[in-house]
C-alpha cells in the first residue's frame, strides 16, 4: 500500500504554518488536482508535485519584507503569519538586511563594496549573503596598512562601509574614512546592513539617482 501523510503536515514542512497560509496552500493543491476538497491526506509519491505546485502558485511574504518593499515582484503575495516561511527572506532578518543593502547599492549604481571591521564570523558570512549581486571585499579592522595601499583600494571601489561597533581600531577607521565612506554604529549583522542601506539610499537621493 502506498504511504500517505496529512496534507497539513506536508504544508507545514513546506513552511505553511498559519491558518491563512495553510488555506492558500491547500487551495493551490486542489486547483492543480493534487488533492481534492475535504481530503485530509495526500499520497507520499505526490510530494514532489505538491512542492513544485506550491512554489509556482503561492507566494508567502512576511510583513517585514513587504514594508521594506522587497515584494514588488509578487503583487498577489499572501502576507505570512507566525511561523510561515517568507519566500524573500526565508525567516532570516540577516538575509533581509542583505537584500535591502543590495537593493540600495543597485539603486546607487554601486557594485564594488569594501566592508572594514567585523569578527571572523562576519567576514565569513558577508560574502555569502551578498552572493554574486555585489563584489565584496572584507578588510580586517584591527590591522593597519600604509595609506597609499588603502587609497588604491578606495579608488577601485564604489563605497566603503565602516562597521564602527565591531572589531575595528580608530587608526584603521581613520585611514579608510573619506567621501566614499559610510559609517555604521549598529550592532549585529542585520542591523548594520540596514543602517548602511539607509545611508547609501540617502546618498543616492542627494545625488538624484
The domain segmentation of the chain, as residue ranges, is 4-79, 93-206
Distances in Å between the alpha carbon of 57 and those of 49, 53, 60, 106, 202?
Answer: 12, 6, 10, 29, 36
- Residue reference for cell 521594506: 68
Give average pLDDT by consecutive 10-residue segment, the chain, 209 residues.
83 92 93 92 92 89 89 78 88 94 95 96 94 94 93 96 93 94 94 96 77
Backbone torsions φ then ψ of 43, nearest 5 degrees: -65, 140
pLDDT tens digits, 29-65:
999 999 999 899 999 999 999 999 998 888 899 989 9
Q: Over pLDDT 90: what percentage of the chain?
A: 73
Question: Can you give the pLDDT at residue 2?
Answer: 56
Distances in Å between the alpha carbon of 158 and those of 2, 53, 163?
Answer: 58, 41, 16
- Residue reference for cell 600604509: 146
Question: Can you give the pLDDT at residue 56?
Answer: 87
129-157 burial: b if 16+ Cβ within 10 Å, else e: bbeeebebbbbbbeeeeeeeebeebbeeb
Q: Which CATH class is domain 93-206?
A: alpha beta
Helix pair angle (120-130, 189-206), 10° resolution: 50
99 and 89 in contact (C-beta within 8 Å)?
yes
Mean pLDDT for the chain overall: 91
Amino acid at each position: 500500500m502506498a504511504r500517505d501523510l496529512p496534507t497539513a503536515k506536508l504544508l507545514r514542512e513546506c513552511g505553511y504554518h498559519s491558518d491563512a497560509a495553510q488555506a492558500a496552500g491547500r487551495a493551490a493543491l486542489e486547483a492543480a488536482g493534487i488533492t481534492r476538497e475535504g481530503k485530509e491526506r495526500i499520497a507520499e509519491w505526490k510530494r514532489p508535485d505538491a512542492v513544485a505546485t506550491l512554489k509556482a502558485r503561492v507566494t508567502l511574504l512576511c510583513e517585514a519584507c513587504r514594508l521594506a518593499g522587497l515584494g514588488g515582484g509578487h503583487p498577489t503575495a499572501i502576507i505570512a503569519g507566525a511561523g510561515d516561511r517568507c519566500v524573500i527572506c526565508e525567516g532570516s532578518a540577516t538575509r533581509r538586511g542583505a537584500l535591502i543593502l543590495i537593493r540600495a547599492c543597485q539603486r546607487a549604481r554601486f557594485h564594488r563594496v569594501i566592508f572594514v571591521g567585523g569578527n571572523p564570523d562576519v567576514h565569513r558570512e558577508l560574502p555569502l549573503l551578498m552572493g554574486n549581486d555585489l563584489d565584496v571585499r572584507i578588510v580586517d579592522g584591527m590591522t593597519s596598512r600604509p595609506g597609499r595601499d588603502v587609497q588604491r583600494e578606495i579608488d577601485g571601489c564604489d563605497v566603503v562601509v565602516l562597521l564602527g561597533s565591531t572589531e575595528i581600531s580608530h587608526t584603521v577607521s581613520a585611514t579608510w574614512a573619506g567621501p566614499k565612506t559610510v559609517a555604521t554604529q549598529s550592532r549585529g549583522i542585520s542591523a548594520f546592513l540596514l543602517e548602511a542601506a539607509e545611508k547609501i539610499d540617502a546618498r543616492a537621493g542627494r545625488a538624484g539617482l
